[in-house]
Amino acid sequence: MYFKQLMCGAMLMVASSLLAQNNVAEEVAWVVGDTPIWKSEIEEQFQNLRYDNKDIKGDPYCVIPERMAIQKLFLHQAELDTIEANEGQVISRADGQINYLIQELGSKEKVESYFRKSMAELRQNYMDAIRDESRVQQVQRELTKNIKTTPSDIRRYFAALDADSVPYVPLQVEAQIITMEPVIPREDVEDVKARLRQYAEAVNNGESEFSTLAILYSEDGSSVRGGELGFMSRAELDPNFAAVAFNLNDPKKASRIVESEYGYHIIQLIEKRGDRINCRHILLTPKVSTAELTASTQRMDSLRSFIDEGKLTFEEAALHISSDKDTRNNRGLMVNGATGGSRFEMNQLPQEVAKQVAELEPGQMSQPFVMTDKKNHTVVAMVRLTNRIDGHRADLRNDYQLIKRMYEASESERILAEWLEKKIRETYVRIEDGYRNCDFRYKGWIREREGEAASAASSTNANS
């Protein structure tokens, strides 16, 4: 758990450097190996944690530099093992962070003004931090890859937990779902296409700015940014959308109409950068009429009657009729994206589904209801509650996988802690006055004798 906090802290530290005022003298607080930790870095990170109302358990001038020192030890090991980050993933995550900032603040210019950095500087700061984070995680995975887990290990671990350490598991449910997408009349689809053709012609004739039209008419969240999506790879885009977007060459023109699983688009190129692209789009989705919604609800109600009469099972109906491809091939069983399992806490379910499930007993089906799916489509759905596990203290019978994960996390923590304390003993560390009087998490930062530091420095140089 601590090492997850360490990496979360590392990402918080990225933003701190972006907001820095540079009003602290460049003085060294710590030296780890041959790498200094500057007082200004510590102050910047502390200010950022305060800005985000993050709780620091302990003296920040002890906790923060120790976190930084730990990261430097892992990075030193990454150098020894020639561990590198996947640059494609680094770029993707950095662009994601930048896109998020643009979305939150409204424009690139507002982001640059807020952080007092150019977009290029911000992007480089994120890339550096994400690259370091990736390399640290790879070292940690390598150190803990040989953890063996047996049922007897897990039973002993659980038996040794004190009562306060056994987690409380809230109410959980397992459910199946069938969805139907109402039929959209062809004339409604043609109306949407006609509107998009008008927008494209206005852009291509120089009569309107694409970004202005996106702000006014696009039905996507990117409309607030003039339709800009930020840099993305092919894999991050709908295949049909990507096929058209990556073939665009003229940033002043709008594309032909593209149909994706989300609706209908026109696209404008902003910039290509290697295997990634930044573009704008306008998304329109044909609206479901009341008549079609009523008709789909009636079809779902008939399907419910067939299941009740035993003419087919819920699983068969989901497999052959449901429009939701994610659950269709799973015979309707909903999968929790956060855990990969089939159990959901109530607040993890879509709001409309949770409302129905709350009224059901295991084995019961809901009445047909209308909901918005994750593609923002209006659909008619029906759910069946297959299991309800009331809130309880974790136990081996109901929560074996949870306890197994706890045991593996505990073993990882132990292995990494032992490795860190050994690494600290082998590494030259100097802590300046004002940063020494601390109750550090790990032993060995403060040398008992001057000779120990020299010996550690020799060892570090030899390892390098």
Q: Are residues 7 and 133 in the same domain?
A: yes
> What is each CA distance from 451 to 377, 434, 448, 456, 458, in whole angstroms?
69, 22, 9, 9, 11
What is the rounded CA–CA span in Å between residue 145 and residue 142?
A: 5
Q: Are residues 177 and 301 in the same domain?
A: yes
What is the rounded CA–CA span in Å between residue 34 and residue 464?
A: 11
> What is each CA distance from 329 to 51, 405, 431, in whole angstroms?
46, 27, 59
In this structure, the number of other CB atoms found within 10 A of the CB of residue 136 comes to 24
In this structure, the number of other CB atoms found within 10 A of the CB of residue 424 comes to 19
pLDDT digits (tens, 9 = 90+) for 298-313: 999 999 999 999 999 9
The answer to whether position 132 is within a domain reads yes
Q: Are residues 273 and 299 in the same domain?
A: no
Tokens representing 438 are 């601390």
How many domains in the chain? 3
**pLDDT tier at 460, thresholds 50, 70, 90:** low
SS3 413: helix
263-273/344-345 β-pairing: unpaired
Sequence-distant (≥ 6) Cβ neighbours of residue 278 within 8 angstroms: 228, 229, 230, 231, 232, 270, 271, 272
Which of residues 232, 264, 284 is at a domain's end? Answer: 284
Q: Are residues 360 and 260 in the same domain?
A: no
**pLDDT tier at 50, thresholds 50, 70, 90:** confident
pLDDT reported for residue 117: 87
The answer to whether position 228 is within a domain reads yes
- CB-based burial, 271-297: b 16+ in 10 Å, e otherwise: ebeeebbbbbbbbbbbebeeebeeebb
What is the rounded CA–CA span in Å between residue 454 and residue 443?
A: 18
Over 90: is that where the pLDDT of 115 sits? Answer: no
> What is each CA distance from 263 to 196, 227, 236, 291, 378, in whole angstroms?
12, 15, 17, 20, 12
pLDDT reported for residue 459: 54
SS3 105: helix
Q: Are residues 325 and 179 in the same domain?
A: yes
Q: Are residues 16 and 139 in the same domain?
A: yes
pLDDT reported for residue 86: 85
Smallest CA-to-CA distance from 283 within 316, 260, 308, 312 is with 260
Q: Which domain holds residue 215?
A: 186-284
Q: Are residues 316 and 280 in the same domain?
A: no
SS3 432: coil
Interval 426-444 mean pLDDT: 92
The answer to whether position 253 is within a domain reads yes
Q: Are residues 11 and 131 in the same domain?
A: yes
What is the rounded CA–CA span in Å between residue 157 and residue 166?
A: 11
Q: Are residues 92 and 20 in the same domain?
A: yes
Rg for the chain, CA atoms, rounded: 28
pLDDT digits (tens, 9 = 90+) for 146-205: 999 999 999 999 999 999 999 999 999 999 999 999 988 899 999 999 999 999 999 999
Interval 110-139 mean pLDDT: 91
In this structure, the number of other CB atoms found within 10 A of the CB of residue 58 comes to 13
The answer to whether position 57 is within a domain reads yes
pLDDT reported for residue 463: 54
> What is each CA distance from 4 to 133, 211, 272, 401, in whole angstroms?
11, 40, 35, 20
Q: Residue 247 is part of a domain; what is its CATH number?
A: 3.10.50.40
User: Any idea what DSSP says for residue 365?
Assistant: B
Over 70: is that where the pLDDT of 12 sits? Answer: no
Dihedral in degrees, nearest 10, Cα atoms 395, 397, 399, 405: 90
Q: Are residues 40 and 137 in the same domain?
A: yes
Which of residues 227, 258, 284 is at a domain's end? Answer: 284
User: 236 near 246, Cβ under 8 Å?
Assistant: no
List beta partners, residue 384: 176, 365
- Left (φ > 0), alpha (ψ -120 to 50) or beta: where does 184 sit? beta
